[in-house]
Amino acid sequence: MEAADEGCADPLGRYFAAVAYLEASSVAAFEELAGWLTERGAPLELVRRCEAAAADERLHTRWMTRLAEQHGGRRRA
């Protein structure tokens, strides 16, 4: 995976680092979508669901980052 920590010798560390990076990217995407929908007057429930999805992705990012670190990997910023 392109987002993998290539300096990590453990394949699991590289894998979890890459997944953590992608999860973090999802946070930004859901936040951007929520803003875009808000600007266009979308239903509040839809905006709230995007915000909830961003919160879920933050949690996933933390989990995957911890797993990466347990295997010697580091998530890219």
User: What local confidence, expressed as pLDDT, does residue 8 receive?
Assistant: 83
Give the span between the Cα atoms of 13 and 71, in whole angstroms. Answer: 4
What domain count does the chain have? 1
5 falls within a domain: no
Q: What domain range is 33 assigned to?
A: 11-70
Q: Judge residue 50's burial from the number of C-beta atoms within 10 Å of its C-beta, 0-12 exposed, 13-18 middle, 19 or more buried.
A: buried
Q: What's the number of CA atoms in the CB half-sphere (13 Å) around residue 73?
A: 26
Is pLDDT larger for residue 76 or for residue 23?
Answer: 23
Residue 63: predicted pLDDT: 97
The one-letter amino acid at 29: A
Whether 43 is covered by a domain: the verdict is yes
In a domain, 54, yes or no: yes
41-61 residue pLDDT tens? 999 999 999 999 999 999 999
75 is a domain residue? no
pLDDT in tens, 11-30: 999 999 999 999 999 999 99
In this structure, is residue 57 part of a structural domain?
A: yes
Q: Is residue 3 part of a domain?
A: no
